[in-house]
A and B are shown apart, each in its own frame.
Chain A
């Protein structure tokens, strides 16, 4: 090891050893150096052999100058199982799921849709501060959630409520978070739609975009990758799934996440919801390549593009990706093409940047809920009568949960101070006490009536 350090100093490289250093040390035969690329073979140094010897790529020489043309006219094809009318195209691709399961798909998507309508309205009426709908993307949530195990860890961005819905997260808790009331597991700390649930293995949503990716919200993929690595080490037979939009995929954290997942061989599914817009920014201003799926191979990642509005296509792709990710300890990238029918959020009016006709096309001609309903009806598993009943029932359930959530108080103000650290530092306790004293004198100027005593 002294040789290594000496070499580093002699070569004056300020960030560890450069390529020179590695070459020097290879020649010196220092133990433990060539192990950094287990998949690459040690190349034989023969002067008679004209093959490339570069450690950085496994490729042949070419003597013709030719740039690779990115193919965006005829990009990676989109896998689908049903046509736009919900008819199976290739029967061998039909997952042939039992009626009960497909009905659960349908009910999850429609209940989510109903909840979205009511909560969007409630924001408009000033009852909650903010909301984001999932219109048009319900298929991506439910198809993927159904293909996972219940214990697979989910890192979402912010438009994946259907995953929680499929995992039977109660309406009461969705509402509690949006209202930030005493029942909110998040203790009222975040804006609406920042759900989290430990027992359903759904990591709490955060706002900064793409931060969840390295971790495993906008959270970037990094943390998801780290969680996958830990799951691999623990032999947990779990996969981590990380959802993000095509906009978040532009973040540096996405690049970091993909690269780490591939080099560290993590069992993770990167699920990109390509819905055409990042707030007002269309995909033509977000990237120039062939979407997100085309980036996967650049990192050495198995990749596929699917019709996100086809719940069976999403299901099949996720199921197979999960099986192989766990079996082979490698990442998979699924780009689910879909369309964001709703506005970005209640703070957005998308008529400012897209036509109503465009939106209507997707709402009427290619909606994941309609396509699944047609499938159900053609199987004889659903009819108009049941549709009417279910709509009434789901609306009633949502309204009940909504009214109850609205009546509950917010948590006690002292919860402003807890969970910063595992233990409360002395300074923070002093601040908490100082607020309590302040409220004794000035309490009338604060909305104490809405907060639990």
Chain B
């Protein structure tokens, strides 16, 4: 499993092979060029495990924020954290294993740069991490808490829902924990199985008082994370772990903000609206191309970005119900825990999304 992970990282930079056949062209994987032959059953089995279900599409280089640098998603996160600790002397980062750089390298170099009282490990206890973070925020200091995997956020659910979300409201605005941000790696990664693949944003989506944000790319991640950290309400920032290395683009070195609660229309269209967040945005982008090419259908692609409070106006008008020509279709994982070997069948890949779109057009 560990070895497969290493190779998967390199392969994710390749475009997914086209439809059909088990012929694979392997580039940059240490094999001789032009190595093209019918894959044996064993190789084939190994290969389907490594190829991603999406292609990351970088956005064009942003020009309005000054000098940019090539960064992947975890480096963009590190950059945001670095910017935050530099300009806010009260800001601290804590969680399991953040001191040495974090299991996903998001905090590499920060302890050396800012000191052990600002970047530190906590005991292995998510309810403690979030509770502790709330307390720091109550005094007005900036608390950036890391939960090692979104799958482990549940012990902190009470602190998030019953405490953080309600702190300002229940005290009549005497107290608040607005300077708390919780970050967690999120979503499927190909081999994460039950406890390293979850996307738990739905559990928080109906909890007034918190904000939940999911970026689709390094540029989006840095700007949205900075907005979460500076936002005066407790925020949860879910980072698509499959994009930590796979997503690379030009990201401004200086701090910048992308507003919360604003969805982004990535592509305008007139026939069908596709809405997603995080990794899935890249899946539906591809579905939009497929729809245009094969069905002549024009799709509007929307990245929701903030799950709560969400941008209702961009996604739909309250009256849109009467204007829909087909029922809304939701394409998601199945109502099962996230499986291990069955992941390719479980995820809402571009074929399932495309099929749903096709049925919708023909409704």
Contacts and interface: CB of A to CB of B under 8 A. Distances in A.
A234 interface: yes
Interface string B130-141: 111111111111
A228 B135 contact: yes
Contacts of B103: 8, 15-17
Nearest to A252: B127
A71 interface: no
Nearest to B102: A16
Nearest to B128: A256
Given A187-B172, A206-B163, A233 B148 contact: no
A352 interface: no
A221 B131 contact: yes
A222 B117 contact: no
Contacts of A233: 90, 92, 117-118, 141
A36 B121 contact: yes
With most chain A CB atoms within 10 A of its CB, the pick from B100, B112, B131 is B131
Interface in B239-291: 261
A197 interface: yes
B122 interface: yes
Nearest to B117: A233
B173 interface: yes
Given A215-B135, A226-B131, A4 B312 contact: no
B261 A186 contact: no
A287 B3 CA distance: 48
A4 B109 CA distance: 13
A185 B136 contact: no
Contacts of A204: 167, 170-172, 174-175
A139 interface: no
Given A225-B135, A233-B117, A208 B158 contact: yes
Contact of B309 (A224, A225, A425): A425
A159 interface: no
B25 interface: no
A196 interface: yes
Contact of B137 (A15, A224, A226, A420): A226
Contacts of B168: 419-422
A219 interface: yes
Contacts of A101: none
Contact of A253 (B3, B131, B166): B131
Contacts of A115: none
Interface string A191-225: 00010111000011010100101111001111111
Given A204-B175, A419-B168, A222 B130 contact: yes
Contacts of B313: 426
A226 B138 contact: yes
Nearest to A5: B105
Contacts of B134: 214-215, 222-223, 226
A9 B2 contact: yes
B231 to A, nearest CB: 8
B5 A220 contact: no
A177 to B, nearest CB: 9
Contact of A226 (B2, B135, B158, B175): B135
B116 interface: yes
A223 B6 CA distance: 39
Given A206-B163, A223-B138, A419 B2 contact: no
Contacts of B173: 187, 418-419
With most chain B CB atoms within 10 A of its CB, the pick from A189, A230, A260, A420 is A230
A224 B90 CA distance: 17
B169 A194 contact: no
B297 interface: no
Interface string B187-213: 000000001100000000000110100
B159 A214 contact: yes
Interface in B139-183: 139-141, 143, 148-149, 155, 158-159, 162-163, 166-178
B120 interface: yes
A54 to B, nearest CB: 18
A86 to B, nearest CB: 38
B105 A1 contact: yes
A62 interface: no
A257 interface: yes
Nearest to A425: B309
B107 to A, nearest CB: 11
Contacts of B18: none
Nearest to B310: A427
B131 A184 contact: no
Given A10-B2, A214-B131, A226-B134, A35 B116 contact: yes
Interface string A238-281: 00100000000000110111011001100000000000000000
A256 B2 contact: no
Nearest to A25: B100
Q: Which 9 A/B pairs are nearest by Cβ-Cβ distance? A: A222-B131, A226-B135, A214-B131, A256-B128, A223-B135, A204-B171, A187-B172, A422-B232, A226-B132
Given A226-B131, A422-B178, 9 more contacts: A11-B2, A222-B135, A223-B131, A226-B134, A227-B136, A230-B139, A233-B90, A233-B92, A421-B209
10 contacts: A12-B1, A15-B149, A32-B99, A185-B174, A215-B138, A223-B135, A240-B135, A253-B128, A420-B208, A420-B209
Interface of A: 1, 4-5, 8-12, 14-17, 32-33, 35-36, 153, 184-190, 194, 196-198, 203-204, 206, 208, 211, 213-216, 219-231, 233-234, 240, 252-253, 255-257, 259-260, 263-264, 418-423, 425-428
